[in-house]
Amino acid sequence: MLERPLFEPPALIDLDPSAGGVEVHLEAVEATHAFLPDRPTGVWAYRDASGPDLKATVPGPLLRAKQGDRVVVKFTNRLPVPTTIHWHGLRLPNDMDGTTASQRAVAPGESFEYRFVAGDAGSFWYHPHVAADEQIERGLYAPFVVEDLEAEPFAVEAERYLVLDDVKVEADGSLSTSTDALDLMMGRSGNVVLVNGQREPEILARPGSRERWRLVNAANGRYFQLELEQARFRVIGWDGGLIAEPYEVERLLVAPGERYDVLVEWAGEEGDRRELRTVHYDRGHDMPDPGPKRLLGVVLAGGRAPAPPEVPAALRAVPRLSEVISQTPLRRFVLSEQEEGGAGPRFFINGESWPFNRPVMVSQGQTEVWEIHSDTEMDHPFHLHGMFFEVLERGGVPELRRGWKDTVNVPAGQTVRFSVTYTPLGMWMFHCHILEHAERGMMGEVHVMP
């Protein structure tokens, strides 16, 4: 019935029979993937290594755990280059964070065992933290769900993880090797937009039904400004799990690295078609509007669904991560860029360009307010490892919604403030999640000391 049914990455097979434990075997390999019909593209991808026949996919297999599970990921690198895995968003011990600040990269042919407790429920994702601009672009990214054991499950007909991306492919299907000046400035932009590695896939949904979507933007630089035809997004969660109270929007901006959990409901009749699309968002540098792009087709079929129950007005008590008092020390970060002759732009945080940065030294248990200012003509999605934060204000407008974030968009010329408590010890990275910016300097480290 559907021409291109949506690919939903299967979960990694759990080899640990005990309750409370998850053990999975994962490999990064060279593989092929059809972004365009009949024209396979050479990619780098994750594969479930628990069986010989399991194929590498883009996105990689879903890592699924329950809140509190002890997770063991036995990882083997079968790529020709060193790599690591970063568990984007999850709070875990520093030596499991998968960055070059926390471990030696896993060399070709080598293995590494990641062990952590999945303490936070939410929608996360995993990806390399070595040459991330290249490795994620080539296909190394995958969804990661930690199920909530405390919250009431939502009554939905389907729960899907939609991984948004774009890729630059040549007519013959090969991955483009060109990263032009505009790509360096805005993040590499693809000519094919993808949902779960596919161009314009489709789903079936019953008229009147409700679904839960977990959304992540895995693109190097593209911003997704999402719209649904004749439907709205009811936002129930952010990066750090469920938010305090749901809210509805017509348009949902998802910057690189961010996650949103939403409920969608399909009003309409049997046979109606709907679509999810991305529309222009002005992220700076006077980029022209390329017009809307279709992401996902929805076909209403299968008979009318019974009316879904009311969504509760309060989803969870979101504990304050940090007590903000007027005496809370303020730490300022200024994001800037500079043209460096023929070598293209370099990017800076407080005038320093990674890897030539000095770590910010802080004490465990302290709360501070971070003020991030974009001193450039463009937006930057700012990501902090190892900790959630609470957004206090964006561009002078107080944030009234209560929820946890690990990535926040800082609009061109504007300032965002958030509070954070330094709980976990170790060296944690923070950076712009436009991967070309991060790898060209817009990255730093905060060292939490006892």
Chain positions contacting ligand C2O, by CB under 6 A: 86, 88, 127, 129, 257, 383, 385, 429, 431, 433
Q: Which residues contact 134 (CB under 8 A, 6 or more apart)?
A: none
Of these, 25, 168, 437, 440, which contacts Cu ion (CB under 5 A)?
437
435 lies in the site for Cu ion, by CB under 5 A? no
432 lies in the site for Cu ion, by CB under 5 A? yes
Q: Give me the least distance between CB of 347 and ligand C2O, in Å please.
A: 14
Q: Give me the least distance between CB of 444 and Cu ion, in Å please.
A: 13
> Closer CB to Cu ion, residue 114 or residue 418?
418
Q: Is 355 exposed, middle or buried (0-12, 13-18, 19+ CB in 10 A)?
A: exposed
φ, ψ (nearest 5 deg) of residue 26: -130, 140
> Closer CB to ligand C2O, residue 121 or residue 255?
255
380 binding partner (options Cu ion, ligand C2O, none; Cβ < 5 to 8 Å by kind): Cu ion
Q: Which residues contact 377 (CB under 8 A, 6 or more apart)?
A: 284, 285, 412, 413
277 binding partner (options ligand C2O, Cu ion, none; Cβ < 5 to 8 Å by kind): none
Q: Give me the least distance between CB of 90 and ligand C2O, in Å please.
A: 11
Q: Which residues contact 50 (CB under 8 A, 6 or more apart)?
A: 12, 13, 15, 24, 25
Q: Give me the least distance between CB of 86 and ligand C2O, in Å please.
A: 5
> Closer CB to ligand C2O, residue 106 or residue 299?
106
> Closer CB to Cu ion, residue 285 or residue 358?
285
> Closer CB to ligand C2O, residue 21 or residue 424?
424
434 binding partner (options Cu ion, ligand C2O, none; Cβ < 5 to 8 Å by kind): Cu ion
> Closer CB to ligand C2O, residue 85 or residue 121?
85
Contact window for Cu ion (CB under 5 A) among 188-196, 203-211, 300-308, 428-436: 428-436
Cα-based angle 184, 190, 196 (whole degrees, multiple of 5): 125
> Closer CB to ligand C2O, residue 24 or residue 90?
90
Q: Give me the least distance between CB of 221 and Cu ion, in Å please.
A: 8
129 binding partner (options Cu ion, ligand C2O, none; Cβ < 5 to 8 Å by kind): ligand C2O
> Closer CB to ligand C2O, residue 6 or residue 429?
429
Contact window for Cu ion (CB under 5 A) among 305-313, 362-370, 380-388, 406-414: 380-388
Q: Cα–Cα distances in Å, from 86 out to 76, 197, 282, 351, 403?
A: 14, 20, 30, 26, 22
Of these, 222, 380, 383, 385, which contacts Cu ion (CB under 5 A)?
380
Q: How many residues bind Cu ion (CB under 5 A)?
A: 4
Residue type, 312: P
> Closer CB to ligand C2O, residue 380 or residue 383?
383
Which residue sits closest to ligand C2O, CB atoms considered? 88
> Closer CB to ligand C2O, residue 168 or residue 385?
385
283 binding partner (options ligand C2O, Cu ion, none; Cβ < 5 to 8 Å by kind): none
88 binding partner (options Cu ion, ligand C2O, none; Cβ < 5 to 8 Å by kind): ligand C2O
429 binding partner (options Cu ion, ligand C2O, none; Cβ < 5 to 8 Å by kind): ligand C2O
434 lies in the site for Cu ion, by CB under 5 A? yes
297 binding partner (options ligand C2O, Cu ion, none; Cβ < 5 to 8 Å by kind): none
Q: Give me the least distance between CB of 187 and Cu ion, in Å please.
A: 7
What are the residues binding Cu ion (CB under 5 A)? 380, 432, 434, 437
